[in-house]
Structure 1
Amino acid sequence: MIIGYIRVSTQKQNLEVQQDTLNKYGIDKLYQEKASGRNTNRPILNEVIDYLRTNDILVIYDLSRLGRTVHQVMKLIEYFSQNSIGFISLKENLDITTPIGRAMVIIIASFNQMQVEIQNEKIREGIENAKAHGKHIGRKPISNDKVKIIKALKKEGYTNQEIANHLNISKRTVINYSSIEILK
């Protein structure tokens, strides 16, 4: 059986290109997931792994859909090899049944991981630069008036979610500000 797995990192992203490509390949069953590739516990991927049997083939759009670190990818590739499960990554044209295919998986997974690390490094540098220039990082603090309203509504017995809905702020903001002292 040919099983397809497609993934994007966020709810806002679109799966259509991956889905069209896998459907053209000719899959029997398709699994879709919207979760970060850095997450090692992805429910749909776990379901796919549980579903796969000897001689099944897992088809993905590109190797980064399987995971974003070399360790994640190699752990899965090893599992596939040990259980006689085929694996195809369409974008890179990878086949793990050959020594060159397995080596290419390691190389491509290494580049994918490096890309993530470089991106994270740039984000950290940007934040440090902004802080060095006196820019505020994160959300703006709420006004003392809103803090007073939060405290008053808490005393009246409203839940954090009810207060958040009333003030059009997040529940986490209500929790964070409900216990601080009001600045004068």
Structure 2
Amino acid sequence: MGKRIGYARVSTDDQNLDLQRDALALTGCNAVYEETMSGKSADRPELGHCLKALRSGDTLVVWRLDRLGRSLPDLVGIVSRLEQEGVGFESINERIETTSAAGKLIFHVFAALAEFERNLIRERTRAGLAAARARGRKGGRKPALEEAQVREIKALLKDPQIQVGTVAKRYGVSRTTLYRYVGKTGPR
């Protein structure tokens, strides 16, 4: 039988890891990786160390599901990777574990709900963009320069005494943006 490795996380320094530590100790965790960091942060170094320490046959134990994943899709992704590596997963509060058939079923229902949520968001986004287009709105960023400004800039840059950087500054754009609109005008 493999090791039981715990992962505990709190969002701020004001919060305390004691409750999670105690719960993980009661489940027989051999080691616990602890982190004080927002769950929204993609860079969670202790979680990375924890995941590297897990081997096939081990079980990752968390106090609650929200301690592991930043979102349901993120959680599903992490647990799916664990499953592919032969590592079990257990959440103490929700009483979910993926080492049994029933536990896997419950977790896969969560995964299906996460995919459903992603698809709904995608559909709503498409519908919103289509409605905006129907009202004559164009998506994307407003152009940095108007047609009249581009004509003025081209006329100014015909004078070899005028520097590209000066023109760019005058119109409030970068040299790169200026070149994108008028093309390269030779060395300056």
TM-score (norm 1): 0.55
Structure 2, gaps ≥5 residues long: 116-188
| Structure 1 position 75 matched with structure 2 position 80 | no
The answer (yes or no) to whether the contact 2:69–2:78 under 8 Å persists in 1 is no
Q: Deviations over 1:89-132 (max 9, x none)?
A: 0000101243423235438979xxxxxxxxxxxxxxxxxxxxxx
Q: Could you tell me which residue of structure 2 aligns to residue 106 of structure 1?
A: 111
Q: Call closer, same or farther: CA 1:86–1:13 in 2, change over 3 Å.
A: same
Q: Could you tell me which residue of structure 2 aligns to residue 53 of structure 1?
A: 55
Q: Could you tell me which residue of structure 2 aligns to residue 94 of structure 1?
A: 96
Q: Could you tell me which residue of structure 2 aligns to residue 41 of structure 1?
A: 43
* Number of matched pairs: 110
Q: Deviations over 1:24-70 (max 9, x none)?
A: 11111111100111112100000001111111110000000001312
Q: What SS does structure 1 have at the residue aligned with 2:24?
A: helix
RMSD: 1.9
TM-score (norm 2): 0.54
The answer (yes or no) to whether the contact 1:3–1:58 under 8 Å persists in 2 is yes
| Structure 1 position 23 matched with structure 2 position 25 | yes
Q: What SS does structure 2 have at the residue aligned with 1:87?
A: strand
Query: Distance between the aligned counterparts of 1:109 and 1:91, measured in 2?
Result: 20
Structure 1, gaps ≥5 residues long: 111-184
Query: Distance between the aligned counterparts of 2:107 and 2:75, measured in 1?
Result: 11
The answer (yes or no) to whether the contact 1:63–1:109 under 8 Å persists in 2 is no
Q: Could you tell me which residue of structure 2 aligns to residue 168 of structure 1?
A: none
Structural mapping, 1:139-178, within 5 Å:
none
Identity rate, percent: 35
Letter in 2 for 1:102: F
Query: Distance between the aligned counterparts of 1:108 and 1:52, measured in 2?
Result: 27
The answer (yes or no) to whether the contact 1:6–1:19 under 8 Å persists in 2 is yes
Larger Rg: 2
Q: Could you tell me which residue of structure 1 aligns to residue 140 of structure 2?
A: none
Please list every run of at least 4 consecutive aligned residues from structure 1 whose deviation after the TM superposition is greater than 4 angstroms: 107-110
The answer (yes or no) to whether the contact 1:58–1:86 under 8 Å persists in 2 is yes
Q: Could you tell me which residue of structure 1 aligns to residue 12 of structure 2?
A: 10
Aligned equivalent of 1:32, options 26, 31, 34? 34
Q: Call closer, same or farther: CA 1:71–1:51 in 2, change over 3 Å.
A: same
